[in-house]
Amino acid sequence: MYNIVICDDEKDIVDAIAIYLTSQGYNIFKAYNGKEAVELVGSMKVHLVVMDIMMPVMDGISAMSKIRENSNVPVILLTAKSEDTDKILGLNVGADDYVTKPFNPVELIARVKAQLRRYMTLGGGEVESKNDESEFVLGGIELNDSSKKVFVDGEEKELTPTEFEILKLFLKQPGKVIPPKEIYRKVWNDAPIGSEGTVAVHIRHLREKIEINPSEPRYLKVVWGQGYKCEI
């Protein structure tokens, strides 16, 4: 059974998340500031941390940095929409994922399961020693080019061969804006004449399979007038 630390200075939020995760069979340990979370991670076997950013005593970013000094336990940050800069900083200092408040319990549970699955697949937190160039991971998306399988938040997704190749193209170059013509040229191996509409349709179908809310994509985003990019 997995041990999960929930850290937020708002007791009601901690209690609510505890109810959701307890219902999935997890052991829950509660903290109300970053210092308490760091102490819990240092004193026991913890498999995952769900932690708010804005907290007294020690904020989530500082706690994240302290945890990463000794542990690679997965950390999911809880962020407000106004905390985009802090969210990016958190990911840069070692957070594995984030959930924006107010969060959907189903989404949170899915992300917890995905991070636990990835953590335990790597041997309960040991550094992965293999160099498998066929595997690509971005946030909750995992693509294996050898098995031709895609998982999103731990759930396998059935993609068409074209959708698979489009997603692989993006995961090879996370954050890069790729114009529709380039996508068409590399995936279809053909001259990109009149390709924008074809690419747009396939992007829409891909979003429907990998995004929780396709109309507000978390991963596959449009950059108006330039193309598409995949990032978290």
Give 72-83 pLDDT, tens digit per residue: 888 999 988 666
* Mean pLDDT of the 64-92 span: 81
In which residue are the tokens 């007038």 written? Answer: 225
Residues of the chain with CATH 3.40.50.2300: 3-121
Q: What is the pLDDT of residue 53?
A: 92
CATH number of 3-121: 3.40.50.2300
More confident position, 20 or 154: 20
For the cut 90, the answer to whether the pLDDT of residue 84 exceeds it is: no
Q: How confident is the model at residue 182 (pLDDT cuts 50, 70, 90)?
A: very high
Any alpha helices (H) in 2-153, and if so which ranges?
Answer: 11-22, 34-43, 60-68, 84-92, 105-121
Query: For 124-132, what is the mean pLDDT?
Result: 40
pLDDT tens digits, one per residue of 153-181 = 888 898 888 889 999 999 998 889 999 99
Strand partners, 98: 77
Percent of the chain with pLDDT over 70: 90
Q: Which regions of the chain carry the CATH code 1.10.10.10?
A: 135-230
Measured distance CA(90)–CA(112) in Å, rounded: 17
Q: Which residues pair with 138 in a beta bridge?
A: 141
The CATH class given to the 135-230 domain equals mainly alpha
